[in-house]
Amino acid sequence: MSRAFLVVMDSVGIGGAPDADAFFNDGVPDSGANTVGHIARACAEGQAEDGRSGPLRMPVLDRLGLGAALELASGAAAPGLDATPDGLWGAATEVSRGKDTPSGHWELAGLPVPWDWHTFPVATPAFTEDIRARVCELAGTEGILGDCHGSGTVMLDRFGAEHVRTGWPICYTSADSVFQIAAHEDPEIFGLDRLLALCEGLAPMLHARRVGRVIARPFIGAPGDFRRTGNRRDYAIRPPEPVLTNWVQDAGRPVIGVGKIGDIFSMEGIDRVEKGDDATLMTHLGDLVDTAPDGALVFANFVEFDSLWGHRRDVSGYARALEWFDAEIGRLLPRLRDGDLLCLTADHGNDPTWHGTDHTRERVPVLIAGRGAGTIGQVAFADVAASVAAHLGVPAQGPGRSFLQDGD
């Protein structure tokens, strides 16, 4: 019985979104953003030399069709990504009105978001009085810190010392539909369990207002040396209709999440989740290639392209992460069984050469090993779910159409 491995490279966009002019970073439209393309160009021009050097080297994904997909998506050629593909490849376009994690993942799983997400105004304070009051009630504090838009590491630099002094939670947001709360893991200051309880208690109020996620952002350290930990937790709105994970589970097949997949889908249709940093997740993915049972769906997200490098606009760091990922996937491919499908894709862009610090609206690659070679052309995000379901022999729902052909 066939297995499927659906792997989301968080934020690894390839440009070309037809509606990019409707999405903005610091007031500048995302038109022309191209995460992989601009990283490749920066590498070729010697502008990404921190911890690596020279042109972007991604021979494994390029042979699967990455460079070809980028040119199909954006019309641009990426330096160093010019291999003749030996995989099945194409580019996917999103229709949901968001360039965020839930929008991209839900649609890749067959469900375009059926509403507009609520976002908070770019103002200080950013939140309404009733939200502030609810946070204080749940946290047992007299106030909150932040109450603004900002990048997480900047929030720690700005408010971390005051948080240690007062014990008040640091609350902030971004252009995405998120409410993020940072707090120190030391129980003498705040505590991890208290932070998770705060986010879990606040989530129903914000979900009712179509805020996509409440995110716990725990950290450790002292002023001048605050560091996030791996204990992040996303409290996301539950998908309102069945998605790929439900389709597979309802057919009696095992569904295993790797990374933050369980959080994104509120564990809908997911039997178990393996967590950790990206290096640990790659170990989990390799173990599952070796051991996942026949008929299984393994759905993985590798987040550090986005969280560590894209938002921080670190081109060298993003390039290092891409090259590491490419080498690791190269080690996994020979271990796939006959009949397995491995699909590599992304949920949005986060061009580290772009304006601002938010995600960028882009098309994404669809690279498939295990189903022959050739182009699938321009497809929809939802077509990914329909195709994975078709490979597994599971009935699909929603608007997607399989791009796999019998005999591929």
Q: Which string of DSSP letters, residue by residue, matches 236-257? A: EPPPSS--HHHHHHHTT--EEE
Do 395 and 247 touch, CB atoms closer than 8 A?
Answer: yes
As a whole number of angstroms, the distance between CA 126 and CA 118 comes to 13
Reading phi first (left if > 0) and then psi (alpha if -120 to 50, else beta), residue 128 is in beta
As a whole number of angstroms, the distance between CA 226 and CA 122 comes to 25
Mention every residue, 6+ apart, whose C-beta is less than 8 A from residue 378. Answer: 72, 73, 90, 91, 92, 93
As a whole number of angstroms, the distance between CA 408 and CA 294 comes to 20
Binding-site residue set = 10, 306, 311, 347-348, 359
As a whole number of angstroms, the distance between CA 207 and CA 219 comes to 25
Paired tokens of 112? 């375009």
Q: What's at 367, amino acid-wise?
A: L
As a whole number of angstroms, the distance between CA 87 and CA 76 comes to 20
Name the strand (E) or helix (H) holding 272: strand 272-274
Do 183 and 218 touch, CB atoms closer than 8 A?
Answer: yes
218 preceded by cis ω (within 30°)? Answer: no
Binding-site residue set for Mn(2+) = 10, 306, 311, 347-348, 359
Cα distances (angstroms) measured from residue 26 to each of 23, 100, 163 = 10, 16, 27
User: What sections of 82-150 are H helices per DSSP?
Assistant: 101-108, 129-139
As a whole number of angstroms, the distance between CA 235 and CA 213 comes to 5
The β-bridge partners of 217 are 182
As a whole number of angstroms, the distance between CA 15 and CA 349 comes to 8
Name the strand (E) or helix (H) holding 178: strand 178-184
The β-bridge partners of 180 are 172, 215
